Amino acid sequence: MRRFACHALFFGFLVLQPNRVFATTLFAGSFVELSVNASDKNVSLNYPRRGPNNLCGIEIKSNVIVLNVAVWQALANRLHVSESYDDGTTAVVPAIIESKYSPTLRYVFSRDSEAFATMEFRSKDGLSIGETARRVLGGGEGDVRLIAVAYGCSE
């Protein structure tokens, strides 16, 4: 009976706030769906730090194989990404696109001495992030998924 009550409460919570997108915290090895049906999504990291075994940013991955840097750049151009910290400081985060073997799209926090940091991904054109990804990566067709993965900086 207790399990049923918890499920009903959780379901009711989702029904009451269907358009609300809550922040999700990433840990080493974890990821969060970024291609949501909302125009924004917050992704957080605890203790962003540079160096071995530390997390300092977010890498974007897709179920669509992207081998062209220009495609990742087109997606980055349609997203506004900002970082915020506990002290209220907010700043725009530039996209970093690396192309060693396969191009990658990353966003790295500018401060690495905080206890908590959040990146807000927002679609510039007002479309949902999922629809923006579908238009850029899928040519407007197909099921395009984006995930945000915790990224470790070695430097």
Res 79 pLDDT > 70: yes
CA distance 9 to 121: 29
48 CA to centre of own chain: 15
Average the pLDDT over 139-150 and give the result. Answer: 88
Q: How many CA atoms lie within 13 A of 136 on its CB side?
A: 26
Q: Phi and psi dihedrals of 37, rounded to 5? A: -90, 35
pLDDT in tens, 80-110: 999 999 888 899 999 999 887 789 999 999 9
| 26-30, 44-48, 80-84, 111-115: least confidently modelled range | 26-30
CA distance linking residue 63 with residue 51, whole number of Å: 29
Size of the chain in residues: 155
* 21-151: in CATH 2.40.10: no
Predicted structure pTM score: 0.79
